Amino acid sequence: MRSFLFGLILISIMSCSSKKDQSKSQESATKSDVTSFYVGTYTNMKPLEEGGSEGIYHYTIDENGVLAKIGLAAKSANPSFLAKTSDNKYVVAVNEINTNEGNGTVESYVIEGDQLKKLSSSSSGGAHPCHISINSGGQVIVANYSGGNVGLLNISKNGTLSDLLNVQQHEGKGSHERQEAPHAHSSWFRPDGRGVVSVDLGTNELWFSEIKNNKFIPHQESKLAMNPEAGPRHIDFHPNGKFLYVLNELENRVGLVLLQKDGSYILGDTYSMLPDGFTDYSKGADIHLSRDGKFLYASNRGHNSIAIFEINETDGSLSMVGTESTKGDAPRNFQLALDDNYLVVANQNSDNIVCFKRDTKTGKLTYVSQVDAPAPVCLLF
C-alpha cells in the first residue's frame, strides 16, 4: 500500500514538473515568435491625462500580425521620427522642436531590453527636424522642416552622437501657399552609395549631394524640380536601381523619377493616389515599395487610406490596384513587416496602429488587428 501511494506521489510530481517545463517552453516560444518595434510620437497633441504621449513607445507584432503594446521605452520631447544603426544596437530620434537657438535636437539611445537608455544629444542644425537617416558608416543626416536645411552628424560605435558637422541650407520657394520658403522634409542615403537625396517640399525640388570630409558637396546637377505645387515629401528606391518614386504631399500623387546612365535623374509620369471621383481634402504622407519591387504603397491623410500600385518593372510605370482604409485618421508613416507579409500603419489623429495582412501576389491588404498608441508618427522595426 505504501509503495502504491509513493508511486502515485511520484507520478504526480513528474506530471507537475512536465507541465512546468511545457509552460516554460511555450512561454519561450511565444517570446521568440514576436518582433519588437518602436513608435515615435508627437508629445504636444494633447495633455498626458487625456491620453497624450510621453515619448518613444515599445510594441510587438507576432507571426499572425497581432499587435501588442509593451509600454513607454523612453521619455522624449516630440520624437517624431526614428532611425536605427546597422548593428541594431542604437536608436536615434529627432526632437521636432524649435529651441531658443533656432534648432531642434537629435538624441541617441542604446536598446536595453524593453527600454531605451539615452546616451547623447546634439543640435540638428535647424528648427523642427522631421526625418533622420543613418548609413552603415555611421553618418547621420537630418531634415529640418522649418529650418529648410539638412544637418550632418556622425554616430560612434558606442552610440554617441558627434556635434553638428555641417548644414546644407536650401534656397528658393514654390507657388503653393505652403511653399513660401524651403521646407526640407526628408533626406536619404542612396542605396548605390552615390550620395544623398534630400526632399524639399518648400522649394518643390529634390536636392542631390555627396558627403566628403564631413561636408555636403552638391552634385553637378544638384536639383530636380517636381511639377508645380507637387510638394515632395518622402521617396523610395526601386531595388533595380533604375527608378525612384516621390510621394508628393500637396497634390496627392506619386512621381516616377528615372536614373540616367550618367548618374543624373529625370522626372517621368505622376500617378494619383486617390480614387476617381474623390474631391475632398487629402494630402500624402509616406511611401514604400515591396522588397521584390512589384508593388508600391502610399498613405493618404484625409482619404485615410493606403493606395496600392502595381509596378511595371520594365519602365517603372504604376497601375493602381485600389485603396484600403487605414481604419483610423491621418495615416502617417507605415512599414512593411515580417518579410513583407504585413503592412503596419500609424494613424496619428485617431491614436491607433493598425496591421494588415499583405497578399504578395495581388498586393491587396486585409485587416488583422489594431492597438492604441498616443499620436503615433513613425514606426521603427
User: 276-327 pLDDT, tens per residue?
Assistant: 999 999 999 999 999 999 999 999 999 999 999 999 999 999 999 999 999 9
Say what the pLDDT of residue 32 is: 57
CB 346 within 8 A of CB 377: yes
pLDDT band, very low/low/confident/very high, at 262 (cuts 50, 70, 90): confident
Say what the pLDDT of residue 29 is: 37
Say what the pLDDT of residue 254 is: 98
The pLDDT of residue 266 is above 60: yes
Say what the pLDDT of residue 14 is: 47
Calculate ∠ Cα 183-186-189, nearest 5°. Answer: 140
The pLDDT of residue 8 is above 50: no
Say what the pLDDT of residue 231 is: 98
Say what the pLDDT of residue 258 is: 97
Say what the pLDDT of residue 201 is: 98
The pLDDT of residue 95 is above 90: yes
The pLDDT of residue 176 is above 50: yes
For residue 130, how far is the Cα from the chain centroid? 11
Higher pLDDT among residues 239 and 24, named by residue: 239
User: Any alpha helices (H) in the chain, and if so which ranges?
Assistant: 2-32
Residues pairing with 112 in the sheet: 115
Say what the pLDDT of residue 194 is: 84
Residues of the chain above pLDDT 70, percent: 92
Task: Retrieve residue 368's grid coordinates.
Answer: 488583422
CA distances from 246 to 182, 213, 250, 256 (A): 17, 29, 12, 7
How many helices and strands (H and E) does the chain possess?
A: 1, 28
pLDDT, tens digit, 9 for 90 and up, residues 111-133 = 999 999 999 999 999 999 999 99
- 199-208, 259-268, 365-374: lowest mean pLDDT where? 259-268
Higher pLDDT among residues 49 and 267, named by residue: 267
pTM over 0.85: yes
Distance in angstroms between the alpha carbons of the first and the last residue of the chain: 61
Mean local confidence (pLDDT), 222-229: 97
Say what the pLDDT of residue 101 is: 87
CB 303 within 8 A of CB 296: no
Say what the pLDDT of residue 5 is: 46
Say what the pLDDT of residue 27 is: 42
Side chain identity, residue 236: D
Mean local confidence (pLDDT), 233-238: 98
pLDDT band, very low/low/confident/very high, at 189 (cuts 50, 70, 90): very high
Say what the pLDDT of residue 30 is: 47
Mean local confidence (pLDDT), 261-269: 89
pLDDT band, very low/low/confident/very high, at 334 (cuts 50, 70, 90): very high
> For 143, which DSSP code?
E
Which residues touch 196 (CB under 8 Å, ≥6 apart)?
141, 150, 187, 188, 189, 190, 208, 209, 210, 211, 216
